[in-house]
Structure 1
Amino acid sequence: MKAIIFDFDGTLADTLPICFYAFQAVFKEFDNIEVTSDEIKAMFGPSETGIIIENLIDSNHDKAIELYYKKYAEKHRELVLDNEGISDLLLLLKRDGYKLGIVTGKASRSLLISLEFLNMNDLFDVIITGDDVDIPKPHPEGVNKALEQLSIKNTEAVFIGDSEADILAGKQANVHTIGVQWLPDYQTLEFSVQPDQMFSSVHEFIQSLTNYRYEQL
């Protein structure tokens, strides 16, 4: 195993609350409607820009997109708390020599805001955002691009995510898939397509990696 590739929202950071907050502000401001978290979650797939373009009735998409990023940034520190367990995990993986990647449906602009706030800027060897693909997850394009940029085979990577789309993308890219529910907010309660492994805590995952390394000795 050479690389560990992560989804971002709900996997590496508990960013779903800030996403919901920003989208709710946009739909209230431009369409004057209240949207629920579940309704927003059902829109996930494209980047935030794509979600607004596809779902906002008001045609003033550019202003709506700018409002989204304004709201996303202004409440980030309040709504997205640092997670010491995730930070320790990433540093441990780097120390152990794994290549690290992100494959997310987020736009690069919002991802960079989050990475900055969470001090994760310099941890990843490859980042594929929703802006970098033609077809979002569950299509495997993003995962395949990450593998290509890392110059590794699919048998040398795992893909970790909290949503059905993550697991489907990983399966279609023929990588080992890991479903996680280790943050307070995650996207999928039950997977219809079962991941190769499931973890409900970061500690469990670290223990699994430790056992894997011993087996390779």
Structure 2
Amino acid sequence: MKAFIFDFDGTLADTLPVCFYAFQFVFKEFDDRKVDVEEIKAMFGPSETEIIRANLLNDNHNQAIELYYEKYDEMHNQFVPSNEEINGLLKNLKKEGFKLGIVTGKARRSLDISLTLLRMNDLFDVIITGDDVKSPKPHPEGINKALKQLNIDNFNAVFIGDSDADILAGKEANVYTIGVHWLPNYHSLEFAVQPDRILKRVEELTTIGLIKK
């Protein structure tokens, strides 16, 4: 393997709670509507801006989007702990010479907030967000774009994520897929399509034979 490409929310950072909070705040403020976590999960795929445009009944989409980012930024430190185990994994992979990437449905704006606050800015060789693709996961467009930018063949890459959409996208891109349940909050309790591996602890990634000394 030459490249490890990751989903972000629920995979590299425990950001799902702050996403849920910001969405719930927006829907309550603009639609006076209470949406639960499962309803929000069902909306996932496109970027948060597209989720709001597609699901908010109120026409003030731009104001709602701004409020989402305001709340996401304001509450990030309260909801999202820094994960030294994941940071250590990424730094070790980079030190070993692997290319690192992110393919996420998040918009660039919220991803930049998280990467800055979690001090992960300088770790990745390629980042593909929901703003960079026409077709979000489970479509493989984002992974294929990342591979092209890295100049890496699909059989030399791993895609790691916490949702069915992640695994389906990885399968469609013909890369090795790893489903993870290694953070407190993740998208899919069970995977509808079986990944090549399922990991429940961060340290397991270094023990499954993909990283050769």
Report TM bin, short chain. Answer: over 0.9
Query: Which residues of 2 match residues 123-202 of structure 1 at below 5 A?
Result: 123-202=123-202
Task: Please give the secondary structure, in 2, of the residue aligned with 1:213.
Answer: coil
Distance of 1:203 and 1:103 partners within structure 2: 21
Aligned equivalents of 1:64, 1:95: Cα separation in 2:
41
Matched, 1:17 2:17: yes
2:212 maps to what in 1? Answer: 213
Task: Measure, in 1, the Cα distance between the counterparts of 2:178 and 2:159.
Answer: 6
Residue 83 of structure 2: aligned partner: 83
Partner SS state of residue 35, structure 2:
coil
1:54 aligns with 2:44: no
What letter is aligned with 2:91? L
Give 2:98's aligned residue: 98
* TM-score normalised by L of structure 1: 0.97
SS state of the match for residue 30, structure 1? helix
State the secondary structure of the residue aligned to 2:212. helix
Structure 1 residues 140-189: Cα deviation after superposition (integer angstroms, max 9, x where no partner) = 00000000000110011000000000000000000000000000000001
| RMSD (CA atoms) | 0.9
Aligned equivalents of 1:116 and 1:101: distance in 2?
16
Count residues in correspondence: 213
1:121-150 per-position Cα deviation (integer Å, ceiling 9, x unaligned)? 010000000000000000000000000000
SS in 2 for 1:185: coil
SS for the counterpart of 1:42 is helix
Counterpart Cα distance in 2 of 1:21 and 1:189: 20
The alignment-based identity, stated in percent, is 68
Amino acid at match of 2:177: T
1:207, CA displacement in angstroms?
A: 1.9
Over 3 Å counting, the alpha-carbon distance change for 1:102 and 1:212 in structure 2 is closer
The CA deviation at 1:12 is 0.1
* Paired position in structure 1 for 2:34: 34
Distance in 2 between residues matched to 1:51 and 1:141, nearest whole Å: 19
Structure 1 stretches of at least 4 aligned residues deviating more than 3 Å after TM superposition: none
Unaligned runs of 5+ in 2: none
Which residue pairs with 1:43 in the alignment? 43
Cα shift at 1:212: 4.4
Structure 2 Cα separation of the partners of residues 191 and 55 of structure 1: 25
> 2:152 is paired with a residue of what secondary structure?
coil
Q: Give the Cα separation in 2 of the matches to 1:92 and 1:36.
A: 38
1:109 alignment counterpart? 109
The aligned residue for residue 7 of structure 2 is 7
Q: In the aligned structure 2, how far is the partner of 1:206 from the partner of 1:212? A: 6
Which stretch shows the higher mean deviation, 185-194 or 200-209?
A: 200-209
